[in-house]
Structure 1
Amino acid sequence: MARSKQVNATGFKAWIKRLRRGNRQRFNRLLTRLFGTAEPRRRALAADTRRILVVRLNKRLGNILFLTPMLRSLAASLPAATIDVVIQDPRQKPLLEGLPGIGQVWVQEKSIRASLRLLRRLRAIRYDLAIDPSGNSTSNRLALAFARAKQRMGFAARDQWLALTHAAPRPVSRHQAIQGVELLTTSVDDFHWTTFESLAVFPGEASHAAAQRHWQAAFTAPVRANTPIVGFFTRATGRKQLDHAWWQAFVELFQQRLPNARLLQVRAPDQPEPIAADIASVAIAELDVLAALLSRLDGFVAADSGPMHLAAAAGVPVVGLFKATAPASYAPLGPGCTALEASELAAERVLAAVAERACNTETRVA
């Protein structure tokens, strides 16, 4: 009887959730018919477009890194412009501040009072162009609506209730990072864009100095010159994560097949112990410092996760392991990066990909 009541309660909650979602969609579509932008709208940019605001109110590291191709495209194509960004996680701020063309990286705080104070600041600036790079964020749309920009850019949709001056059609690419670049190229007329399709971050000197200290602490014994060093990260959220036994098998196989290479485990700050006592490891909370340390590696292995994308943005050849998500949408983007999924996730196959990219050698695949 108790189990039946629990199932009924769960079913009722799911029904309420679907009902609310459906009502919200119907309301958004009504607003779109009255005020919004259901169809693509391609127009030229105003000649005096100098102050640009990009809004991405999301805390996931990967989603913030997915902004970098679009931000770099804006900076290269509009070199006289200053690009401000609004995000939610202060830890990610240094990653964006190092990009060319970036002015202010605003962080939305949790309190309503702080959010209202930020909106007043944005309204006072009177941006020439405000951009929502996501096609499904109510928070992004609200920020654009209150920012009082002269031009607004986003994706046209049946539920796009915001009035846009530049509206892109549904993106062709499935990859979340490339969609932002497509937003620029398909919503602006009579303009030649210089575009980028790789993630990128550029840590400063202080970040590299801190990374050097972590590096020396991890490798207490000197590392011989020309020794390939491969990093790996064992964490991921939900079904994306590979289990402890898989990582143990990978580490053992790596040490057997690539004895002249070294491993470095990148641990989450709340992950106190490395997977094996005889390998180097680091745990770094500051994302800019972590990016600087990752840039020293010859290769990196991880499931679909924030550190996987951060390593790709740092210029490291990454082998991304996709157990539950689609590489077409979330593959690591950078030189030498690759994505493996399904049957390719055997430790032998992963090691072969690592050896090819990080160690310039081949290993036997069973």
Structure 2
Amino acid sequence: MGFSARVNSFRRRVMHNITKGVGGSYKLPKKGSMKVEDIKKVLIIRPNHRLGNQLLLTPIIQEVIETFPNCEIDLFVKGGVAHPVFQNYKHVKKIIKLPKKPFNNLLKYIATWFKIKGKRYDLVINGDKDSSSGRLLTALSRGKIKVFGDVNDSITEKYGDYKHISKYPIYNLRFVLDQIGLQKNKTPLPVLNIKLSEEEIAQGKAILDDIIKNDKKTICIYTNATGHKCYSETWWDTFYNRLLKEYPNYNIIEMLPIENISKINFKAPHFYSKDIREMGAIIKNTSIFISADNGVMHLASASLTPTVGFFSFTNPEIYGPYGNGSLPLHTENTEIGDWIKAIDGILK
């Protein structure tokens, strides 16, 4: 771990210890004092700029829309790619963005925080219980109902998947609504969804068809990741050759990262795009997407394509892809035969 990473890790631990009690004195509205139609203005807070973390917000946004269909939603995020991620969510009316590097623009950073104080909300949701700034912003906000993110014991006892970063905000919201007497949503949890349009999907198919130039189904791989989540060229080359052997009746293509690098030395047909919606639309036209844990893995999941995510460093219980047949595989506890069996389960 580099020096800056160690500093950030230490800073997060210190801030977490300072802010972990924030919200402890907050009292929910009296049971029966509010109705569903009273929830018109909603604020969801997730001050993180990374693609994956913003995509991981889409399930709680869907939950809010389904529970309160007449609401308007403001999102509080940090820089990043929020607008293309949420552009087809018509209930999202405003995206409040913190600077990605606050110390380079301290006045704007402070002013953005105080925007929260300037508007009244009916519901405020902290999208990450481990975010110190998320807890502080939730406390600072003027909201009738506040969901700070703490997971109640009744949730941990009832739901085995409560650790997932996209799921526990939904379980928390349903728990809070039950506590104040509002009818909670009882439908299955929403999955990640970037809400691709039919036109976008058709354009993605045209791009894919131009790459493969045949009628076979397609497996898409993405060989890049950051830091410890990244597998070696030898690892990917071995896996790619096994895919070629196991699936001769499928195309195998590689999506390239922004750095335009390939862990399999560009052996497969490949494509590159900076447009995340275009990337999602191309993936949508493939049969399966396979990668390590990274933001593009979550983009594939949000395109509603079956996604296999390889994990060795991060916790798949927290970040694993789910829904649409998607699944995480922990490579420290499994071997290549297990991975092929899992892929077979999706393809066959």
Fold match by TM threshold 0.5? yes
TM-superposition CA deviations, 1:142-172 (whole Å, max 9, x none): 333443333322135xxxxxxxxxxx52652
Once residues 234 and 338 of structure 1 are traced to their aligned partners in structure 2, the CA distance between those partners, rounded to angstroms, is 17
- Residues 80 and 139 (structure 1), Cα distance of their counterparts in 2 relative to 1, 3 Å cut: same
**CA drift at 1:95:** 1.3
In the alignment, which residue of structure 2 is the partner of 1:97?
A: 87
Aligned to 1:339: 328
Partners of 1:146 and 1:119 in 2: how far apart? 9
Whether contact under 8 Å (1:300, 1:319) holds in the other structure is yes
Distance change (3 Å), C-alpha of 1:340 and 1:193: same
**CA shift at 1:278, angstroms?**
4.6
Alignment correspondent of 2:169: 180
Distance 1:119 1:39 in 2: 20
Alignment of 1:1-366 (within 5 A): 21=13, 27-28=18-19, 32=21, 36-37=23-24, 44=31, 46-47=34-35, 48-99=38-89, 101-110=91-100, 111-156=105-150, 169=152, 172=156, 173-188=162-177, 189=179, 190-194=181-185, 195=187, 196-204=189-197, 207-208=200-201, 211-212=204-205, 214-216=207-209, 218-219=211-212, 222-224=213-215, 227-273=216-262, 275-342=264-331, 345-358=334-347, 360=348
Which amino acid in the other structure matches residue 90 of structure 1? G
Q: 1:277 to 1:320 in 2, by over 3 A?
A: closer
Structure having the higher Rg: 1
CA drift of 1:244 comes to 0.9
- Unpaired segments ≥5 residues, structure 2: 157-161
Corresponding position of 1:4: none
The equivalent of 1:5 in structure 2 is none
Task: Label 1:339 to 1:80 Cα distance change in 2 as closer, same or farther (>3 A).
Answer: same
- Asked whether the equivalents of residues 128 and 150 of structure 1 are also in contact (C-alpha less than 8 Å), the reply is yes
Pair 109,206 (structure 1): closer, same or farther in 2 beyond 3 Å = farther
Cα distance change of structure 1 residues 56 and 298 upon mapping to structure 2, 3 Å threshold: same
In structure 2, how many angstroms separate the alpha carbons of the residues matched to 1:278 and 1:353?
A: 24
**Structure 1 stretch displaced more, 322-331 or 289-298:** 322-331
Partner Cα distance (2:316, 2:254) in 1: 23
Could you tell me the TM-score, scaled by structure 2's length? 0.81
Tell me, yes or no, if the aligned pair for 2:29 and 2:145 is still in contact at 8 Å: no
- Tell me the distance in 2 between the aligned counterparts of 1:143 and 1:236: 31
User: 1:163-187, CA deviations, whole angstroms, 9 ceiling, x for partnerless residues?
Assistant: xxxxx52652111111111110112
Aligned equivalents of 1:169, 1:206: Cα separation in 2? 42
Q: Which runs of 5+ in 1 are unaligned?
A: 1-9, 157-167, 361-366
Return the alpha-carbon distance in structure 1 between the equivalents of residues 13 and 332 of structure 2.
36
Do the aligned partners of residues 206 and 114 (structure 1) sit closer, same or farther apart at CA in structure 2, a change above 3 Å counting? farther
Per-residue deviation, 1:125: 3.3
> Do the aligned residues in 1 keep the contact of 2:219 with 2:251 (CA within 8 Å)?
yes
The answer to whether the 8 Å contact 2:54/2:85 transfers is no
Which residue in 1 is equivalent to 2:159?
none
Residue 152 and residue 344 in structure 1: after superposition, are their counterparts in 2 closer, same or farther (change >3 A)?
closer
How many angstroms apart in 2 are the aligned matches of 1:214 and 1:63?
A: 27
Letter in structure 1 aligned against 2:85:
L
Q: Hey, what's the Cα distance between the residues in 2 that align with 1:313 and 1:20?
A: 28
Give the Cα–Cα distance (whole angstroms) in 2 for the partners of residues 129 and 20 of structure 1: 26
TM-score, scaled relative to structure 1: 0.78
Tell me the alpha carbon deviations over residues 313-362 of structure 1, each in whole angstroms, 9 at most, x when there is no partner.
2111112212222222221012111222246643333233223313x2xx
- 1:260–1:43 distance in 2 versus 1, CA, 3 Å: farther
Aligned mates of 2:39, 2:246 — CA distance in 1:
56
Q: Distance in 1 between matches of 2:163 and 2:70?
A: 31
Return closer, same or farther for 1:19/1:177 CA change in 2, 3 Å cut-off: closer
CA distance in 1, matches of 2:91, 2:63: 10
1:121 CA displacement: 4.2
